[in-house]
Structure 1
């Protein structure tokens, strides 16, 4: 452990809820910025590529820097790292705000500001995740994970609606001020909690960053069950990345932009309800079984997204798919927390995030080519699959994307079966991996 929990479990959980609330409103603010900037850039350029580049500025810096953020989360007080991350993220937003006030904003200004904010999120997120282990006992991990996911879903459920209203009432630059305000509020809450319960001692070892990074990689790689679990989820996230990239283009071929927005929000409600359920009632034991079953069901719902052109059916499939995600995420987090030394969780979480991000980034990189050059031509009128797969999926604009969704969903269900059969993953249930047991045996030889 990095320090002693001197408060009662109830007191610590209450303080965790305060920190969670600050992060909740901060996530809403971030969602306001991303949604508003997406609309702004699309109106200015009329190209989807400019919007995709904003997403890359959001995702790429954390992907590259999270290992260093994780090292710092283990080296320093994790609450201090959260404050540095939140306040630092506001600097990039202030840059965009002032450039807009000057009236000579250019696209590269926006990309630079968003990238700068994302750099600081690479230091904030590992500290936030590891802080759960600092403050709470093991039996409250599942509830905490559910609440964290609940906050994350607000970016997709609350922010688009709220941003749409605010953009009719004020200029976009003031949206940035709202986001900055939420970051400051979140920081002050963390500072207050730190003051009331005191600092958490950190085990300081005189290593350089590369040495600590290698130590984190060793801690991650020695637990073969965790490695297998993370690689499996990385494969799943590749297919989820296809959904993130192609859901809107598919729907826009079927209905209006307004209806697409409503459909997205309803789908996000599924994640909200699933997270709320876990936050209120927790999650039972047998996390590997919950993970495998949830993945299998999620794959079926994913495949249903491509089976119909009826917007209500697609929205219902999306809702049920997103409702399964909190159960998947919670099971993964609990299994990892039980099997990784808390004093090294910051750097291990950052490595895990980097590995799993890779699945989404690869998906973003190949999605356009697969949709435009491979799958859509197959299901155009007269296309090679128009008279076979087209009978089920349909023929015309966007039906190649629908076929991609069906294949992706079936692949996720297949992955769930492979996961269930993996003995190294199943042994994580007991909080001990084969590698950990071997280490204990080896250590006993020197006693």
Structure 2
């Protein structure tokens, strides 16, 4: 597929646009809900509980979401998940005031996360059928770029909406984003149905078959494990960076925002570079390099003597994050049989969510006991060690046929 064909691939761009709008809606909702809960309770614990609640459906519903993505029309599943959450949010606008406002905020976040547990596996499983195998890296790079922009713009938009309006207005706006996402996907319904799971097979049995498939495919299991390890260690870095800025660099906590902005800029820059590289991207070598770069950046962050050094390191970290997402998503999509692709991608999402929760639970004791520099050094070293099995895959793959985007 040439660059011109890629640009003119309407179905692919609709999936990318739908995913970008959906991610923006998620970030608008979770940010606005956090603001609303804190305004009502003045409790950090209440906000933390809200954020933890957002991760629960990814863990609990991922097996079912992946199974449905392999059993049903994937575009139809995306449309239904968006339409249902839009209806839930619109219904919630009528109840958002008064004593139920807090409960509605928690319920809205839970419902949106539950919707994403079905939408994301279907989207990721559908993507390879809409583009040539050699263009998967480019397609995922555009997708990550759209998602990153949504992650930047969503919270800013939520803050603007909450500054002069109530949470009900945000829910109504967010419902609109999901309806737009559903509208983008309607024309793809029936375009291509996945290989059906046996009709008599229960959802639980089908989900377990997906686990067994992932376990037996060594290349998929190795990459999934590397993602999980990175999420655990990355959560320690994320949770400890604010303390590092305040205690080690002796700077105002507001500088933490500057670090996050630079990290996002690094991610966007590498996503653009990957779009230009296109099919020349070697997925396993890129994933290995991204693991090493991310690990080295994490380990060196604690040694940064100034904000300028820390900003440079965070830019590398952002690049590493996008490198991992593009290379490993494309590789898993490429290596997974179509009949199991939804379950593989949902399992990866579940492992990533579990890893992040585990890392957040470890972060406080690790940073408090050992200090941010030591905790960051250990986390970075573990990420770099996780690159070794992936490098082994890259070498063995290179002896046969390199996995390219």
Q: 1:262 to 1:96 in 2, by over 3 A?
A: farther
| CA distance in structure 1 between the aligned counterparts of 2:345 and 2:8, rounded to whole angstroms | 22
Aligned residue number for residue 134 of structure 2: 139
State the SS of the aligned residue for 1:99: coil
Residues 1:205 and 2:198 are matched in the alignment: yes
Alignment of 1:287-436 (within 5 A): 287-308=283-304, 310-372=306-368, 374-375=369-370, 400-420=371-391, 422-423=392-393, 426-428=395-397
Deviating more after overlay: 44-53 vs 318-327: 44-53
Structure 1 residue runs of 5 or longer lacking an equivalent are 1-7, 376-399, 434-447
Do the aligned residues in 1 keep the contact of 2:15 with 2:127 (CA within 8 Å)?
A: no
State the SS of the aligned residue for 1:71: helix
Deviating more after overlay: 273-282 vs 9-18: 9-18
RMSD: 2.7
| CA distance in structure 1 between the aligned counterparts of 2:327 and 2:194, rounded to whole angstroms | 29
Do the aligned residues in 2 keep the contact of 1:225 with 1:428 (CA within 8 Å)?
A: no
Structure 2 residue runs of 5 or longer lacking an equivalent are none
Do the aligned residues in 2 keep the contact of 1:70 with 1:348 (CA within 8 Å)?
A: yes
| CA distance in structure 1 between the aligned counterparts of 2:103 and 2:375, rounded to whole angstroms | 33
| CA distance in structure 1 between the aligned counterparts of 2:321 and 2:209, rounded to whole angstroms | 31
Residues 1:182 and 2:177 are matched in the alignment: yes
Higher RCO (CA-CA < 8 Å; seq separation 6+): 2
Aligned residue number for residue 236 of structure 1: 230
Residues 1:160 and 2:131 are matched in the alignment: no
Aligned residue number for residue 165 of structure 2: 170
Aligned residue number for residue 33 of structure 2: 37
Q: What is the deviation of 1:135?
A: 1.4
Do the aligned residues in 2 keep the contact of 1:73 with 1:347 (CA within 8 Å)?
A: yes
| CA distance in structure 1 between the aligned counterparts of 2:75 and 2:337, rounded to whole angstroms | 19
Q: 1:426 to 1:352 in 2, by over 3 A?
A: farther
Instruction: State which structure, 1 or 2, has the greater radius of gyration over its C-alpha atoms.
Output: 1
Q: Deviations over 1:60-107 (max 9, x none)?
A: 21111111111111111000111122222334534553332x322354
Do the aligned residues in 2 keep the contact of 1:245 with 1:367 (CA within 8 Å)?
A: yes
TM-score of the aligned structures, taking structure 2 as reference length: 0.88
Do the aligned residues in 2 keep the contact of 1:30 with 1:155 (CA within 8 Å)?
A: no
Residue-pair matches, total: 396
Deviating more after overlay: 310-319 vs 292-301: 310-319
